[in-house]
Each structure stands twice: as structure tokens, then as C-alpha cells.
Amino acid sequence: MSFTTEDVDTIIAELGASLTPSQYSAFVAAAHAALGNCSGPGAAYRILRGLQRNFFDPPSDTTEAHAPRHYRRPTKLSSLPPVAIEDARAIGLRRASWARR
């Protein structure tokens, strides 16, 4: 199987899809410089996935400011533990009492 520049361009486009345009152009330039004489698409992907992480800025976690109002303030329902979760000791006692019947 031959290795073409179209394979590398496809990998670069897939990894750069989540980047902003300025980050994408910098990533493409750095990707072509980092690859040099790459042996195949698998090696290119392994090289470029770490490089893409250097250019990606994750979005901030300010979604709470834009969340619906009922998610912003604590409620009795959200502050209590989940209903279906039990302590392991309670489960063991329940099973033991069921077995004695």
C-alpha cells in the first residue's frame, strides 16, 4: 500500500477540525514540519495527535452561567443522595434476612 500526501492531508484535516482558523493554519504548518519523512499514515497519526493537543484550547467551563435557572441553585432533590444507591452493608443485611426466610 502506497503512502500519499493525500493521506497526510486527510489526517491533518481530521485532527484540525476542532481548531479555530488561526490555530488550524499554525497546526498545518507545524504538522508538515513535524512529519518530514514519515513512514505511513499510522505513524503520521501518532505524531500529529500529540501535536494537535498543543494547539487545542478547550472551551471554558462557564456553562453554569448560561444553564437553566433550575440548575443554578441547590434543591432538596439535587442535594440528597441518589435513591438507588445503597450501602454495601445494607445490601448484605437485606440478602441475609431474605435467605433466612
pLDDT digits (tens, 9 = 90+) for 45-72: 888 988 998 888 876 666 556 666 665 6
At 34, give phi and psi (nearest 5°). -75, -30
Q: What is the pTM of this model?
A: 0.56
Q: State the chain's maximal CA–CA distance in angstroms.
A: 74
What pLDDT is attached to residue 70? 60
How far apart are alpha carbons 28 and 40 in whole angstroms? 17
- Environment class of 17 (CB within 10 Å of its CB; exposed 0-12, middle 13-18, buried 19+): exposed
Give the three-class secondary structure for 27: helix
Least confident of 9-13, 30-34, 83-87: 83-87
